[in-house]
Amino acid sequence: MVTKLADLEVYLVGGAVRDQLLGRKVLEHDYMVVGASQQQMLDLGFQQVGKDFPVFLHPETKDEYALARTERKQGQGYTGFICYAEPDVTLEQDLIRRDLTVNAMAQAPNGDLIDPYHGQQDLDNRILRHVSPAFSEDPLRVLRVARFAARYHQYGFTIADDTLELMTNIATSGELKALSAERVWKEMERALTEPNPEVFIEVLRACGALKELWPELDKLWGIPNPVEHHPEICSGEHTMLVLKQAVKLSAEPKVRFAALCHDLGKGLTPEAKWPKHYGHELAGVKVIEQVAARLKVPNDYKLLAAKVSQFHLNVHRAFELKPSTVLKLLEQCEYQRKPELLANILLVCRADSLGRMGAEHNDYPQADYIAELANVGKQVIAKPFVEQGLQGKAIKEAMTAAKINVIAEKKAELLAKLS
Ligand SMILES: Nc1ccn([C@@H]2O[C@H](COP(=O)(O)OP(=O)(O)OP(=O)(O)O)[C@@H](O)[C@H]2O)c(=O)n1
């Protein structure tokens, strides 16, 4: 009979066991409780937090404690689960419903590892492998595996062949379409923070999930670019190179998302026009809006991606732009109200330029050049024009003329230095 906390049969489970064995920092401790009822947990002072599952917060540590449970799928989609969490559910029964063997290990309080599905062996061999056919019960696991592959690529992990086959079956069955946009986006966003987000995209592509979830991106493979600017030719390959450069430049997932989106407009170029892509910048904005609406992408991600798509070629051509065009570009990038937006646009443009085969170590002086012109533009203020007695529209016109002047002066100075 469980009457005090010390009587509970408790195991550390999931990511904490995995990451501890990998020598990684453990941020979250999840525990499983075997042999207790929901009422006993409440009587011990645990606070129930799970709506769908019996998950509780420890009265003192606030760590998550879940009752051992089995789950069976009922119908399509995530909500259709029959969950059973009575005290007779065993540790092994709970572990077998989990996604990957490396996630299906438990550790007893005395340190013993309970590993009925050989997670440690897979961990040592650097393999992501599903535990059982129950893997398919939650299609989101296709994205989870791709995300773990992106995270653990640095340790040499690969996906077991039969797991990739299972993921392919899930993707081609159309079941990914039943996932809510919120769950899909959450996985994508997390994947974008990993050290190798390009692996996430490559895995999704390899199992056919990218085509289902993000066809506008999937389409870029096979669309050529002019070889003189893009020795890698393929737009999909180029996008992966840009993403890798973006990872080097910024930890911000929205910068990485914008890198993925910057050439989506190329998917709309009629084949007869290949390998050129006139107008893909503006065409891409519509595609990004469509992707953002479908995946419920946050507005700041959408805004950055759309601006990068629209203006990346202009930024690349920065030195050729007239001062008035530079000012227009800066204003369209909301350079005064949102300095971070312009800084991120310039980062992605740099990633785009360096994300071409053989260009990895090139310089990208356009970014500093635009940033410096923005700085001088910002310094023009309304006060002197107001003091001259100008009003309303006249102040705005005078300020614009003054901004163009200071930009022209700075442009001449910077170009003289660069030449
Ligand atoms: N769709 C899911 C979600 C979770 N789990 C299981 O629940 C555990 C905890 O899930 P979560 O906290 O999402 O993942 P972690 O493995 O802890 O990974 P992360 O480090 O990304 O938090 C996982 O280890 C896995 O055993 C699962 O099998 N299927």
Q: Whose CA is nearest to atom 16 of ligand 1?
A: 15
36-46: pLDDT as tens digits: 999 999 999 99
Residue closest to 355 by CA, chosen among 253, 212, 249: 249
355-409: pLDDT as tens digits: 999 999 999 999 999 999 999 999 999 999 999 999 999 999 999 999 999 999 9
Helix axes 161-172, 140-152, angle to 10 degrees: 140
Rounded Cα distance between 212 and 85, Å, is: 34
- Asked if the model's pLDDT at residue 76 lies above 80, the reply is no
353 CB within 6 A, ligand 1:
no
Distance from the alpha carbon of residue 211 to the mean position of ligand 1, in angstroms: 25
- Asked if the model's pLDDT at residue 160 lies above 80, the reply is yes
More confident residue, 186 or 4: 186
109-140: pLDDT as tens digits: 999 999 999 999 999 999 999 999 999 999 99
| Backbone CA torsion sign across 75, 79, 81, 82 | negative
Rounded Cα distance between 390 and 398, Å, is: 9
* One-letter identity of residue 273: K
Please give the mean pLDDT across all residues of the chain: 95
Annotated binding site for Mg(2+): 28, 30
Mean pLDDT of 252-275: 97
Q: Residue 75: what pLDDT? A: 65
Q: Is the ipTM of this complex over 0.95?
A: yes
Tell me the domain boundaries of the chain.
1-117
Q: Are 254 and 262 in contact (CB under 8 A)?
A: no
Rounded Cα distance between 340 and 346, Å, is: 10
147 CB within 6 A, ligand 1:
no
Mean pLDDT of 157-176: 97
Residue closest to 93 by CA, chosen among 114, 77, 121: 114
Could you tell me whether strands 64-67 and 55-57 are parallel, antiparallel, or unpaired per DSSP bridges? Answer: antiparallel
CATH 3.30.460.10 fits 1-117, yes or no: yes
